[in-house]
Amino acid sequence: MRNRKFSRFAPPLATASVLVLALSACSGGSSGGSGSTSGGDAASNVDGRGPITYVQGKDNSDVVRPLVDKWNAAHADQKVTFKEQSDSADQQHDDLVQHFQAKDANYDVMSVDVVWTAEFAAKGWLQPLKDKTALDTSTFLPATVKAATYNNTLFAAPVSSDGGLLYYRKDLVPTPPKTWDEMMGMCSIAKTNNMGCYAGQFQKYEGLTVNAAEAMNTFGGKIVDDSGKATVNSSESKTGLGKLVEAFKNGNIPPEAITFKEEDSRTAFQDGKLLFLRNWPYVYNLASKTDGSSKVADKFGIAPLPGMSGPGASSLGGHSAAISVYSKNKATALDFLKFLTSDEEQKFFATQGSLAPVIGNLYKDSALTAKLPYLPTLLTSIQNAVPRPVTPFYPGVTKAIQDNSYSALKGEKSVDQALTDMQSALVAAGAK
Amino acid sequence: MPGRESADRKQVTQGRWASMLLLPTLILLAIVIIYPVVNAIIMSFQKDAALNPTTGLFEEGGSAGFSNYSDWLFQQCSGQSCPPGTLGSQFWSSMGTTFFFAVVTVALETVIGFWMAIIMARVFRGRSAVRAAVLVPWAIPTAVTAKLWFFIFAFEGIANKLFGTQILWTGSEWPAKWAIIISDVWKTTPFMALLILAGLQLIPDEVYEAAKVDGASTWQRFTQITLPLVRPALMVAVLFRALDALRMFDLPYIMTQGANNTSTLSILVVDQIRQGFNSAAALSTITFLVIFIVAFIFVRFLGANAVGAATSSGRK
């Protein structure tokens, strides 16, 4: 009886304590917090040599292991251990964040997606590649260096690049379109063949940011300027995004493309349901397969993305390798970066893993282009590529782009309104 | 009185023993529950790290008071109303979506689950096989279920092929919502059915026989006997499902990634974690409070007794 008052509340409290688990799961792992300003010391251990660990996502095409073996054979006292993460980009990101927060000295070199570099650099987790740890970038493609640079400092070594390509049906369109309007003019061919004309990736996810940014950059728009200020609400961006919206409206982009990610759009093209497709180079090998999985194996060609008057501006993909400030053996780590970006290893990346090299000259290497015929076209794409906004607030920035361009594509918002909202959302996200 | 004394001593020793035995559990609870929760609540009162424009580095934000909470509740982003395309602008719509999913899925699951339980309660050949088969959807991990239904509802997927439709299941609001509801109902109705079945089996057959003798119709037997007697079990089942549904994450996240107004509070929390931990801590605390209030209402006013007999004796 004495606990009467309490016992009335006991059942909800007991239920609550179970729920608390859910809450604690939500917030777990975040102690140590975001943004300790000091971080590790960029000046320490720069001469340190010894064994290091290289961290990267799942090594699906078996490129990293042979490279690491090769390195280890030559550097017995500075061995590299390869730590493989999952193959989900989000999980790789979160794994890196957790190890950085724990100031883990065991993650010496890690593979960083181009859109993460600024965030990690601003948190003070990446070793700036200057002074004693400087890296010569003169042979690299400029866009890849730009994507690895934050606050006028290089924070990572570009290792693999990526750019969008236009896949087209050469049996139906003998010469690929050079401009967007030219391409839209060819859509009557698609109609007579009872197929969709053009598609990219328009589901609301990172791929939409890529596609929307390409449309806006191609027509001269800029999402953020060089100082990181939001400048998306311009007449150029309006034209670019407007072109996509218009194509959705008049059916040149089939309505189902609003649900497309990379793989859905690739399948649609391979099944002969699309005349033009914007996608990454990985599609080339899969669409060329003659085992019956592709109905267009010998009927398609590749071209640079169509632009306003010449090639369009692709969004830049790819990965860089960065050194952790907490690493104890930064000299070895730097040597390993140089090793990863050397001509020979870059060639191996290209032939073994179909990863686009970051060194311009390799695109003219005849042995490489024989194996990877898309390389010259890809070079045009990367030379005209614009990195997605290099900002530590990237998650908020990409959300602002996705949400508002998605509404515009679906016709829920005018292009004007979408860009006004996108601008305010970018500012709210931190791109002031 | 020596007898009394030894009894007292016995009680003291027993009490000491009890606390000794409970201690490891209490320590464990403190580590895995109390510490993270207290930590989360402390974090929710701190500002997210801000970028110092001159160094380009993040700096700790300091104390935030209740601003993290009020920012969510009033959808404020740095002093202004949050523009579309920010997480802040989606708080109330996510709250609405969360409750919409919870109410619709739990209602459907209760009705269908009841129906399945009544069938399984009958005596027929192969009953145990049916009971085992019904569990299959519940046994499959939710993430796998979500991926499965994602493929079913793809534009070129089975659902459209089967019905000869061209619905963009994951590309427009209501089809996307229904796709998620259908998947959730498919997955969790078995759980409901089994809990209700357990309740049904506690009702003695004699009650039904007596009612039959008195000339009660099937409907009367259902409303006058089955419903009231199965009510305690039913309420617990509904409570569990409702709390689960309010935390729904995997299904919408994998099927639509929260597009087309299918973002739940849990999705919002996870998205916010990528942008700032302290605001995320505030949001997860709000989510917790919301679920707590729902649980409280269920237990207090609808009589769902999830913690067993301890309370009913307390109430006497």
Q: Which pLDDT value is given to residue B50?
A: 86
Interchain pair A31, B83: CB under 8 A:
no
Q: Are B248 and B184 in contact (CB under 8 A)?
A: yes
Tokens 């960029």 found at: A42
Could you tell me the pLDDT band of residue A24, with boundaries at 50, 70 and 90? very low
pLDDT of residue A190: 96
* CA separation for the pair B308, A377 (Å, rounded): 70
Query: Which residue type occupies B276?
Result: G
* Distance to chain B for A306, nearest Cα, Å: 26
By the 10 Å C-beta count (0-12 exposed, 13-18 middle, 19+ buried), A122 is classed as buried
Cβ(A170)–Cβ(A151) below 8 Å: no
A4 pLDDT higher than 50: no
How far CA A117 is from CA of A183, B37, B44, B137, in Å, comes to 35, 31, 27, 42
Residues 6+ away with beta carbon under 8 Å from B23: none
pLDDT of residue B51: 86
* Residues B182 and B195 sit within 8 Å (Cβ to Cβ): no
Of the pLDDT bands very low, low, confident and very high (cuts 50, 70, 90), residue A119 is very high
Chain A residues with beta carbon closer than 8 angstroms to that of B287: 23, 26
Contact assessment for residue B239 and residue B102, using Cβ atoms and an 8 Å cutoff: no
Which of the four CATH numbers 3.40.50.300, 3.40.640.10, 3.30.420.130, 3.40.190.10 does domain A3-163+317-371 have?
3.40.190.10
- Which value, to the nearest 10 degrees, does the dihedral of the CA atoms of residues A81, A87, A89, A95 take? -50
Q: What is the pLDDT of residue B61?
A: 81
Helix or strand holding residue B51 (H, E): strand B50-52
3-state secondary structure chain A: CCCHHHHHHHHHHHHHHHHHHHHHHHHCCCCCCCCCCCCCCCCCCCCCCCCEEEEECCCCCCCHHHHHHHHHHHCCCCCEEEEECCCCHHHHHHHHHHHHHCCCCCCCEEEEECCCHHHHHHCCCECCCCHHHCCCCCCECHHHHHHCEECCEECCEEEEEECCEEEEECCCCCCCCCEHHHHHHCHHHHHHCCCEEEECCCCCCHHHHHHHHHHHHHCCCCCECCCCCECCCCHHHHHHHHHHHHHHHCCCCCHHHHHCCHHHHHHHHHCCCEEEEEECCHHHHHHCCCCCCCCCCCCEEEECCEECCCECCCECEEEEEEEECCCCCHHHHHHHHHHHCCHHHHHHHHHHHCCECCEHHHHHCHHHHHHCCCHHHHHHHHHCCECCCCCCCHHHHHHHHHHHHHHHHCCCCCHHHHHHHHHHHHHHHCCC
Look at residue A37 in the predicted model and tell me its pLDDT: 38
Give the pair of three-digit tokens for residue B125: 């050949």
pLDDT given for residue A7 in this prediction: 47
Owner of token pair 């793809």: B154
Is domain A165-303 given the CATH code 3.90.1150.10 in the classification?
no
Within its chain, how far is the Cα of A221 from the centroid? 20
The residue-averaged pLDDT of A226-239 equals: 93
- When CB atoms are compared, the residue of B288, B291, B314 closest to A3 is B314
Reduced to 3 states (helix: H, G, I; strand: E, B; else coil), residue B77 is: strand
| Domain ranges within chain A, ordered by starting residue | 3-163+317-371, 165-303
Chain A: nearest CA to B33, how far in angstroms? Answer: 6
CB contact (8 A) between residue A407 and residue B84: yes
Distance CA A125, CA A117 (A): 10
Residue A16 pLDDT greater than 70, yes or no: no
Residue B300 and residue A351: Cα distance in Å, rounded?
A: 67
Nearest CA among B103, B110, B102, B315 for reference residue B199? B110
Record the pTM. 0.86
pLDDT at A31 over 50: no
Phi, psi of A323 (to 5 degrees): -100, 135
Predicted confidence (pLDDT) at residue B124 exceeds the cutoff of 50: yes
Across the interface, whether the CB atoms of A255 and B271 are under 8 A apart is answered no
User: A106 burial class (0-12, 13-18, 19+ CB within 10 angstroms)?
Assistant: middle
Cα dihedral A83, A88, A94, A100 in deg (nearest 10): 30
Find the closest chain A residue to B31 by CA distance. Answer: A24
Query: Which of A20, A150, A396 shows the shortest C-beta gap to B56?
Result: A150
* Residue A412 to residue A406: CA distance in whole angstroms: 9
| Alpha carbons B268 and A373: distance in angstroms, whole number | 44
Mind telling me how many Å the CA of B39 is from chain A's nearest CA? 8
CA–CA separation, A11 vs B297, rounded Å?
Answer: 11
| Surface-to-core class of residue B73, CB atoms within 10 Å of its CB (0-12 exposed, 13-18 middle, 19+ buried) | middle
pLDDT of A64 higher than 90: yes
Residues of B in contact with A422 (CB under 8 A): 85
Contact B77 A36 (CB under 8 A): no
Is A399 within 8 Å of B86 when comparing Cβ atoms? yes
Q: Say if residues B50 and A122 touch (Cβ distance below 8 Å).
A: no
**Residue of B44, B87, B93 to mutate, testing the A interface (most A Cβ within 10 Å of its Cβ):** B87
In this structure, which amino acid lies at residue B134? V
- Select the residue of A15, A203, A395 nearest B299 (Cβ to Cβ): A15
- CA A278, CA A202: separation in Å to the nearest integer? 11
pLDDT higher than threshold 80 for residue A101: yes
pLDDT at A240 over 60: yes
Q: What digits encode the pLDDT tens for the residues B186-244?
A: 999 999 999 999 999 999 999 999 999 999 999 999 999 999 999 989 999 999 999 99
Tell me the three state secondary structure of residue B212.
helix
- Which residue among A34, A205, A410 places its CB closest to the CB of B276? A34
Which residue among B84, B168, B300 places its CB closest to the CB of A259? Answer: B168
The yes-or-no verdict on residue B269 having pLDDT over 70 is: yes
- Find, among A222, A205, A225, A216, the residue nearest to A243 by Cα: A216
Which residues are CB-neighbours of A42 under 8 A, at least 6 positions away? Answer: A127, A128, A325
Residue A40: band (very low, low, confident or very high) from pLDDT cuts 50, 70, 90 = low
Mean pLDDT of A1-19: 47
Query: Which residues in chain A are contacts of B259 at CB distance < 8 A?
Result: 203-205, 406
Highest average pLDDT, of A43-57, A189-203, B28-42, comes from A189-203
- Identify the DSSP state of B141: -
For residue A96, give both structure tokens: 């890196």
Report how many Cβ contacts below 8 Å link chain A to chain B.
200
CA-to-CA dists, residue B196 to A109, B89, B163, B199, angstroms: 55, 40, 33, 5
pLDDT digits (tens, 9 = 90+) for A311-352: 999 999 999 999 999 999 999 999 999 999 999 999 999 988
What are the distances in angstroms from CA A369 to CA A118, A230, A357, A375?
A: 33, 39, 12, 6
**Looking at A39-48, A82-91, A208-217, A375-384, which range is the least confident one?**
A39-48
Q: Are residues A27 and B43, on separate chains, in Cβ contact within 8 Å?
A: yes
DSSP state of B34: I
Cβ–Cβ below 8 Å for B295 and A399: no
Higher pLDDT: B313 or A161? It is A161
Q: Quick check: do A3-163+317-371 and A165-303 share a fold? A: yes
Residue A203 C-alpha from the chain's centroid: 16
Query: What is the three-class DSSP state of B132?
Result: helix
**Chosen from A5, A17, A26 to mutate, greatest number of chain B CBs within 10 A:** A26
Please judge whether A8 and B315 are an interchain contact, meaning their C-beta atoms are less than 8 angstroms apart. Answer: yes
> In this structure, what token pair is assigned to residue B90?
């989606």
What was the pLDDT predicted at B130? 87
**Rounded distance between C-alpha atoms, residue A322 and residue A148, angstroms:** 9
Q: Which of residues 4-63 of A touch B (CB under 8 A)?
A: 4, 7-8, 10-12, 14-17, 19-24, 26-28, 30-31, 33-37, 39
Task: Report the alpha-carbon distance of residue A269 to residue A226 in Å, rounded.
Answer: 37
> Which residues, including other chains, have CB under 8 Å from residue A121's CB and lie 6 or more apart?
A128, A150, A151, A153, A155, A392, B56
Residues 6+ apart with CB under 8 A from B187: B137, B138, B140, B142, B145, B251
Task: Report phi then psi at A385, rounded to 5.
Answer: -75, 150
What's the pLDDT at B3?
Answer: 59
Contact residues on chain A for B156, CB-CB shorter than 8 A: 264, 267-268
pLDDT at residue A33 above 50? no
Question: Quick one: closest CA in B to A424, which residue?
Answer: B83
